[in-house]
Amino acid sequence: MMEPLQNRLLSALEKNSKEHIFPHLSLTSLPLGKVLYESGEKLEYVYFPIDAIVSLLFVMSDGASAEISLVGNEGLVGISVFMGGGSTPSRAIVQSAGSAYRLPAAILRQEFNSESQIRLLLLRYTQALITQMSQTAVCNRHHKIDQQLCRWLLLSLDRLPDNKLTMTQELIANMLGVRREGVTEAAGKLQRAGIITYHRGHITVIDRPKLEALCCECYQVVKDETDRLEAFDSKSGN
């Protein structure tokens, strides 16, 4: 059974904020490929994933796209609501199907403005998200497709309840902003090495330690920063 506390941000809220926010949450299904918002749209809702993963993509004028970050049960989709922008240049699309709790943007904005604990919590999460965006840009510029795929798989696994992903090579290529042939070759190498199995859009990671060993440092940088900020929050008593 899905509960709001399965999202780490919602779980970390103080009792007062939970009392203000939880009555306005609604559980919603997020099927694979569903677009939560397009570039430039005003955000009416924010989403707290439970077992779904949402990719934030930057889309070019010619339709080409690349992932700038992904969000799972550690965070929320829609930070522009409390950062003052109201809209964002990115597209939010469901990368891995599942469920999320939806909250009217006005409720979160009101709580952010009035409660210091949730404000600090959300700003720390935003810092972790910015780290992920920055590291993704560096990785896409300087590392091979093989390493980018390893990073992407590990970040996705951290946000899922098991070691299975449902994702076609074409969608992975769109996320990474590379050609499908490059993803096919990289995935083939991982499968021949006994690290993953891949069949008709279903990926199972069967040797995570080897996957981590093949990955560039970008995954660990993002994970360490996310873990640091979560630990910092708990030490502060919030």
The reply to whether domains 4-115 and 140-219 share a CATH topology is no
Amino acid identity of residue 193, one-letter, is A
- The pLDDT value given to residue 166: 83
Token pair, residue 139, equals: 């990785």
Residue 22 to residue 115: CA distance in whole angstroms: 15
Q: Does position 72 have pLDDT exceeding 90, yes or no? A: yes
Q: Domain 140-219 adopts which CATH fold?
A: Arc Repressor Mutant, subunit A (1.10.10)
Find out whether 223 and 217 touch, Cβ atoms under 8 Å: no
Residue 214 to residue 205: CA distance in whole angstroms: 13
Q: Is the backbone of residue 62 left (phi > 0), alpha (psi -120 to 50) or beta?
A: alpha
Q: Does position 198 have pLDDT exceeding 50, yes or no? A: yes
pLDDT for 107-140, tens place per residue?
999 999 999 999 999 999 999 999 999 888 888 7
Rounded mean pLDDT of 149-166? Answer: 90
Q: Does position 230 have pLDDT exceeding 90, yes or no? A: no
Tell me the domain boundaries of the chain.
4-115, 140-219
- CATH no., domain 4-115: 2.60.120.10
Specify the pTM: 0.88
Q: Where does 74-183 show beta strands of DSSP type E?
A: 90-96, 98-104, 164-166
- The pLDDT value given to residue 228: 85
Find out whether 95 and 53 touch, Cβ atoms under 8 Å: yes
Q: 31: which strand partners?
A: none
- The pLDDT value given to residue 232: 66
Rounded mean pLDDT of 42-67? Answer: 88
